[in-house]
Structure 1
Amino acid sequence: MVSTFHGLELGRRGLAVGQASLTTTGQNIANVNTKGYSRQQVNSSASPSLDVWTGQGAHTGQLGTGVTIDSITRVRDSFLDQQVRDHSETLGQWQAKQTTLDRLETIINEPSTSGLNSAMDGLKSAWQDLANEPDSSAAQAIVKERAQGVVEVAQSMNKSMDSLKNELTEQTQQTVDKANGYLKQIAQLNKSIVNDGNQANDLKDKRDVLVEELSTLMSIKVDEKSNGSYSISLASNNQSLVNGEVVSEIDVQTETDGNKLYGGKLAGLSESIDIATNYQSSLNKVVKDFAQANGMSAMGGKDQSLFIGDAENFNVSELKVNYEASALKKPVATAETSEAAQRDFRKLVSQLGAQSQAATNSVTNHGAALQATENRRQSVTGVSLDEEMANLIKYQHSYNAAARLVTMTDQMLDTIINRMAAR
């Protein structure tokens, strides 16, 4: 026998689902511009039915009891999430390299009227003037001043490259600290999500934002456990970083290629230090060859060498002009060997330009790939105001219909309870 109040229970459940659907839709609309917010939806199903006797002998029928809320879940696509993380990692790596190459282009500053190549050309011109007037003290002084210009430009570039490498080292430490901070926050959110019963949608959104920020710093793999917590490991060697509430912090790797196993921005910074070191070595060799071509002695003094420097352990920062030389003479092989050094410098500049352009193109391409993937993900997980407004109307009609069912059942019960007794 069906309860007299069965219709009221049907309506009550319909009202509950309709109200939850309207509230969830309102939550979506309110967070349309919230970073990392995932669209939520109410998942409902028919509630367990009742067995009732029918006119089919001993067999029973089943009478519906309405609807029940199964869960309120986020709309996410784990495959697209991993693609976004992969693109973010690659983009972070190339952005770090592009920034370094841009800095190196600024330091080398070629082509320019105040760069190293121009300074070397100026010294070449001063030698020609001295060859025309070998006994001219003014021509001698000009050669020394032009040589001092070469030294100052070269040492300024070398000092800037030292500063760049120091900045990259500091930035690496800061990035490691930042990554460890993300790992701790993710572990804490894992704990809160497990405690809240695996349906803490807002906490999961916050965690995913942190995971994506972490993916720009390093290459990671993310696995979601049955209890809702994340297990995060390095993509390169499967080293565990977060396992539930347990965090394994990372350190700056000092050995060769150590930080490159992390991937992401950390790998880009490690490669950037190598790039800056290589260009500094190339610059050191160019300046050494040019100084030797124009005459370099370790002692200086009254001899005829223009530069003072140690050929075996050459260091740009220690190069000096031999101002005590009283009778400078142009070395026999100056023209040929100086031009060779300048060709090497022009080759260095061309290589840097090509490398910088390649990095810029890579950043553009990977940025476009990331944006395209993010657009696809937003089509799944993002909030569409048009869709949510349509849902508002749909759920409002559903709520109104459930309310009408309650009203109608109330009227029926009023007839049975109050009016039938009066007759």
Structure 2
Amino acid sequence: MGSNGGSFGGLSRALTALHAQQRGLDVTGQNIANVNTVGYSRQRAELQSIGGSVVPAIFAKSPIVGQGVSADQVTRIRDAFLESRAQNEGATAARLTEQSASLTEIESAFREPGSTGVQALLSKVWQAFGNVSNHPENIGARTALLESAKTLVGGLQTTRSSLDRQWGETRANLQTLVADANTMAGQVADLNKAILAATNAGMESNELADKRDVLVQELAASVGATSSRADDGSLTISVGGSVLVSKSSAFRLAVDGATSPDTVTAATAPRVLIVPGGSAVPLGGRAAAQVDALGPAAAQGTSILTFRGQLDTFAQDLATTVNTVHSAGYDLDGTSGNVLFASSGGPLTAGSISLGITDPRGVAAAKYAPAGVPLKASNDGHIADALTKLGQLPSGPDATYRSLIVSLGVQSSVAASNVTIQNVIVGQVDSARESVAGVNLDEEMTNMLQYQHAYSAAGRLVTAIDEMLDTVINRMGLVGR
């Protein structure tokens, strides 16, 4: 018989059994220890039987049934399809969440509904015009009108300023996000290098692969990155079809484009480039929502400038509508009316709108200025009354502003609903991933008992073989002495 065919060979097989069951217990302990570790994938010791020699000796053959068990390989349990889907769904959830947050912040800038919102301030202006129409000679009513108009102008400027500040903060956040993405890409490249080195040296790298997968998931949520696994175990990370990480090399992302909302055009809109190369990268995740928010104004969209443009249009329409009626009247001194709303400089916008009249006597409330008759004696408030009715026009300033707010509210509501739906999908994907890669304590306890009993059985095998050897060595051949 071969060298492993006798009792001593049995000890060798029992030793492999002890080692294998111990390895299984070690892996089970590692799983239990990391049951709450984020990104950890459960591991499994792969037990494989060691067969006997398949090459016969000269004029002989080996009757050995096997040489024990091997547990050299520890498998990391992962489902590549679920990982890929988790990246895609996570990126979508991150983009929708960022989009919803941006729209919510835009709503906050408009402060609707509320006593400080433009709608409430506009209503107070129409009421003030009504008081002037009833008492055109009253300086107090005229002063109150100018104060209401001044408050409305301040409200428009505040809203415009809030939108501009949100644009600047969003661009700064995009810059930070891209910097973080570059850091994570570099870490993935370093982990690729370490995993390749460990694999070539025949060492385990499961924990390194877990850390790498966590980074890839974060990159997916940040910039919409996707990954593909190479035969050597390294991951290639791509963003919008452009390679970001290849083996141990990482490219960089950079933010380019306008740094001020006033200089944004289709050609200068902020975008993210791949470096080197300088080509624009189609993004996903939070970065995609931020780039959309920074883009030029569009008829429909989530761009901050879309709503800023609509607010500017409202301010222009308000000024044009009010000034047209007001300029047709006469003030308290019988002089033709001046514009009530003007620009503090440049084109009139919600940010540059200002009062064109500061003297209460300059409010043009009268329709007529009879020769030789003091205007205050004529009790003429026709123009002020006409201005009051502007707030009731179906296509007047109020209707235009309400349409803007309703459109914003609908988009924000739809965005919030989309986030809720997407979170359900992400939850389902995460549950599927957890069922495959997550640590189940009940299962681990069962495995632990199996390895424990198998270890005990291997120990009994050693004892049995030891007793056999004791019989052969110490008890055989004593008869006849």
TM range (shorter): over 0.9
User: With structure 1 as the length reference, what TM-score do the two structures score?
Assistant: 0.92
Q: C-alpha distance in 2, partners of 1:337/1:312?
A: 26
Q: Displacement, 1:369?
A: 0.5
- How does 1:102-113 map onto structure 2 within 5 Å? 102-113=104-115
Q: Is the 8 A contact 1:92 1:264 kept in 2?
A: yes
Q: Is the 8 A contact 2:221 2:286 kept in 1?
A: yes
Q: Displacement, 1:422?
A: 4.2
Amino acid at match of 2:208: L
Amino acid at match of 1:305: V
Q: Displacement, 1:256?
A: 3.7
Closer, same or farther: CA 290–356 of 1 in aligned 2, 3 Å: same
Q: C-alpha distance in 1, partners of 2:96/2:290?
A: 9
Pick aligned residue for 2:68 from 63, 66, 69: 66
SS in 2 for 1:97: helix
Q: Displacement, 1:114?
A: 2.3
Pick aligned residue for 2:14 from 7, 11, 15: 11
Pick aligned residue for 1:304 from 338, 342, 355: 338
- How does 1:127-142 map onto structure 2 within 5 Å? 127-142=129-144
Amino acid at match of 2:438: G
SS in 1 for 2:254: coil
Closer, same or farther: CA 305–86 of 1 in aligned 2, 3 Å: same
Amino acid at match of 1:308: A
Are 2:347 and 1:313 aligned?
yes
Pick aligned residue for 2:397 from 315, 322, 341: 341
- Percent identity among equivalent residues? 31
Determine the structure 1 residue equivalent to 2:103. Answer: 101
Closer, same or farther: CA 411–2 of 1 in aligned 2, 3 Å: farther
Pick aligned residue for 1:287 from 301, 304, 315: 315
Amino acid at match of 1:307: F
Q: C-alpha distance in 2, partners of 1:358/1:100?
A: 13
Q: Is the 8 A contact 2:222 2:287 kept in 1?
A: yes
SS in 2 for 1:104: helix
Task: Tell me how large the CA RMSD over aligned residues is.
Answer: 2.5
Q: Which runs of 5+ in 2 are unaligned?
A: 258-267, 273-280, 296-302, 328-334, 366-382
Are 2:441 and 1:385 aligned?
yes
Determine the structure 1 residue equivalent to 2:277. Answer: none
User: With structure 2 as the length reference, what TM-score do the two structures score?
Assistant: 0.82
Determine the structure 2 residue equivalent to 1:40. Answer: 43
Q: Displacement, 1:420?
A: 2.2
Q: Is the 8 A contact 2:96 2:289 kept in 1?
A: yes
Q: C-alpha distance in 2, partners of 1:103/1:130?
A: 37
SS in 2 for 1:155: helix
| Number of residue pairs aligned between Structure 1 and Structure 2 | 417
Are 2:286 and 1:265 aligned?
yes
Amino acid at match of 1:150: L
Q: What does the per-residue CA deviation read over 1:77-110, in whole Å, with 9 as the maximum and x for residues that have no partner?
A: 0100111111110011111111111111111121
Q: What does the per-residue CA deviation read over 1:97-140, in whole Å, with 9 as the maximum and x for residues that have no partner?
A: 11111111111121222211111111111111111222221121
Q: Is the 8 A contact 1:52 1:61 kept in 2?
A: no
Q: Displacement, 1:58?
A: 7.0
**Range that drifts further, 66-75 or 247-256:** 247-256
Closer, same or farther: CA 168–51 of 1 in aligned 2, 3 Å: closer
Q: Is the 8 A contact 1:289 1:337 kept in 2?
A: no
Q: Is the 8 A contact 2:77 2:437 kept in 1?
A: yes
SS in 2 for 1:44: strand
Q: Is the 8 A contact 1:91 1:366 kept in 2?
A: yes
Determine the structure 1 residue equivalent to 2:278. Answer: none
Q: Displacement, 1:312?
A: 7.7
SS in 2 for 1:242: strand
Q: What does the per-residue CA deviation read over 1:299-339, in whole Å, with 9 as the maximum and x for residues that have no partner?
A: xx995322222798112222222204633124586456554
Determine the structure 2 residue equivalent to 1:244. Answer: 247
**Range that drifts further, 189-198 or 30-39:** 189-198
Q: Displacement, 1:188?
A: 0.6
Q: Which has the larger radius of gyration?
A: 2
Pick aligned residue for 1:156 from 135, 150, 158: 158
SS in 1 for 2:199: coil
Q: Displacement, 1:220?
A: 2.2
Q: What does the per-residue CA deviation read over 1:352-383, in whole Å, with 9 as the maximum and x for residues that have no partner?
A: 11101111011111111001110011011101
Q: Displacement, 1:272?
A: 2.0
Q: C-alpha distance in 2, partners of 1:421/1:30?
A: 54
Pick aligned residue for 1:207 from 200, 207, 212: 212
User: Going by fraction, where is helix more abundant, 1 or 2?
Assistant: 1
SS in 2 for 1:50: coil
Are 2:237 and 1:232 aligned?
yes
Q: C-alpha distance in 2, partners of 1:114/1:380?
A: 53
Q: C-alpha distance in 1, partners of 2:408/2:55?
A: 83
Q: Which runs of 5+ in 1 are unaligned?
A: none
Pick aligned residue for 2:362 from 320, 327, 331: 327
Q: C-alpha distance in 1, partners of 2:62/2:465?
A: 25
Are 2:187 and 1:177 aligned?
no
Q: Displacement, 1:280?
A: 0.8
- How does 1:212-223 map onto structure 2 within 5 Å? 212-223=217-228
Q: Displacement, 1:293?
A: 2.0
Q: Displacement, 1:253?
A: 3.7
Closer, same or farther: CA 84–102 of 1 in aligned 2, 3 Å: same
Closer, same or farther: CA 127–418 of 1 in aligned 2, 3 Å: same
Pick aligned residue for 2:84 from 79, 82, 85: 82
Q: C-alpha distance in 2, partners of 1:74/1:355?
A: 44
Q: C-alpha distance in 2, partners of 1:53/1:269?
A: 71
Determine the structure 2 residue equivalent to 1:2. Answer: 2
Q: C-alpha distance in 1, partners of 2:179/2:389?
A: 52
Are 2:422 and 1:401 aligned?
no
Determine the structure 1 residue equivalent to 2:29. Answer: 26
Q: Which has the higher contact order (CA 8 A, sep 6+)?
A: 1
